[in-house]
Amino acid sequence: MIKDFIEKNIIISDGAMGTYYSELTKDSVNRVEEANLFNRDLITSIHKEYIESGASLIRTNTFAANTICLNISREKLKNIIENACLASKDAKGDKNLFIAGNIGPIPEFEDDGSKLLYKDILDEYKFIIDCFLNCGVNIFNFETFATDKYLKDVFEYIKLKDKDSFIMVQYSISKSGLTRVGISIDQLIQDSYPVDVLGFNCGTGPTHLINNIRDKSLKYPLSLYPNAGYPELVNNRTVFNSDPKYFAKVVLEGVDFGAKIIGGCCGTTPKYIKSINDLLNGNRAETPVVEVKKVETKESIPNSDKKHIIAVELDPPFKPNLDKLLESARELKDIGVDFITVADSPSGRMRLNSISVAARIKRDVNIDVMPHICCRDRNLIALKSDILAAHSEDIRKILVITGDPVPLEERDVVKKVFNCNSVSLMESISGFNKGVVSDSPFIIGGALNLNSKNLDVQLKKLEDKVEAGATLFLTQPIYDNRAIEFLSKIKKKPGVKILAGILPLVTYKNAQFLNNEFPGITIPDELIQRFNQDMSREEAQKIGINISIETVNRLKSFVDGFYFITPFFRTSMIREIISKALMNNR
């Protein structure tokens, strides 16, 4: 029936279960699937919320329901799946809706590091499928896969057991358009075994997902389940801050590319599904008109004759070719940039090692560098070893950050470490400065988020980092008056310097993406509305440059310098901003 339905209709599916359950319970559970046993009423209630918001397809709370992930017996696994199906059916009632048995990838390695045999993993999938079929569920949703390994045999088994079954498969891709094992979207589509729906979930927010599937030649109906955006860690909890209406507007662009099933993954809630339903069914609210006021900078902002420190961030590439990055670094050196910062696998996505890249820049370009070091991926022994290796490469600046969370879709493959946080690692480096590198100590840098809802908490973090030995702070990108006003009132200890973060906007969509999907960035509506979607690249880039110049002029009387983040390797934008806003007092 569902196969006939999607030929003429768009199906709205549900949103996240795990992250929404954690939001409701304030409990950062790792395995929400076990809540089918001890909190089934709440699972049923969540399904009902999604149905009331417009979902006509709900997925059972069974993503990680397998004996490997949960470390349970098959008897208990069967009980979890049965209760998950009951919760879905109780929520459905007599409504004309669809229930899909939700199945995630089964890890190939056990906790002790031993590798499971192919036949054992395949047997586990077959057991899970039998549990669903015995519960009367014959729609299957395989989601967050990185490879099609096992799937051909699994799909053949399903069709053997129930020829009328309906199979959906969804792969998780990063913003680069690759799965975590490096398989491209085109390859996934080309090599796919016969399925009823092929789609993509998790991995990115709606903008990057839509950009990646645009203009692809599809063999099967498409499903889209993006994350709400990119998460941040708040009090050890993974939090998504984005706008449901923005999410709906972007993800529904997928209908033009063949999307027949649309829902949400990590961070989405019933509000996101309601926004999709409202927009798809024509209940769209009018976009408010924002009056744009010109920012007067010459009269209201006092000029400063002091020299400002200028740092520029270049993201290390995914591939081992550094030619483009080194070329950008040379351009920046030529305009007087003081040092280059290099991110450490930002957003929890693998990139070239920040210290190695920084060392290469320093050797080849002869400019000072500041690699980022995050606490997410290495224990304290490895972190200290890397930091001393940086010193041996003549690197004397280190930006210490706790690090973005590991993407939720990779939680069974990539393990976070967090053996320490940024403050305790700063204390360790301070220990080096007093001992093994006392003759040529590190300058310890830290991050400062002025876009936080609670700026007093950020000020306390700043004080803790100074106490731990940090003397140089780089802020998140600044756009709004609240952050500027707060920064102007910070009283620093002698020797502490703050560089204000500047990330030039490049288009209307770029501004919307950063404001709605990227953690730690807030962009006022009046700035976003200075762009429009019909602008040429040159027109939009000019506006982005002007906004950055205005922000620099408003900040430079009370900051020690600026930390420019290069958008899409457009060093020409950074060069123009620096030449127009800062070269007179260099």
Cβ contact 465:422 at 8 Å:
yes
Please state, in angstroms and rounded to a whole number, the distance separating the CA atoms of residues 177 and 9.
27
CA distance 334 to 472: 24
Question: What are the structure tokens assigned to 168, written together?
Answer: 């959906």
Q: Consult the annotation and say whether 202 binds a ligand.
A: yes
DSSP three-state, residue 235: coil
Residue 562 CA to its chain's centroid (Å): 25
Containing H/E element for 547? helix 537-555
Run of H or E residues at 49? helix 40-52
According to DSSP, residue 530 is labeled T
420 belongs to an annotated ligand binding site? no
Let me know: does 265 contact 201? Beta carbons within 8 Å: yes
CA distance 121 to 99: 25
- Of the candidates 461, 477, 462, the one whose C-alpha atom is nearest the C-alpha of residue 548 is 477
Q: How far apart are CA 584 and CA 412, in angstroms?
A: 53
Structure-token pair, residue 313? 């961030």
Strand segments, DSSP code E, in 72-154 are 98-103, 139-145
Q: Is 375 annotated as a binding residue?
A: no
Which 3 state secondary structure label does DSSP give 561?
strand
Distance CA(131)–CA(158), nearest Å, equals 12
* Positions at the binding site: 202, 265-266
* Positions at the binding site for Zn(2+): 202, 265-266
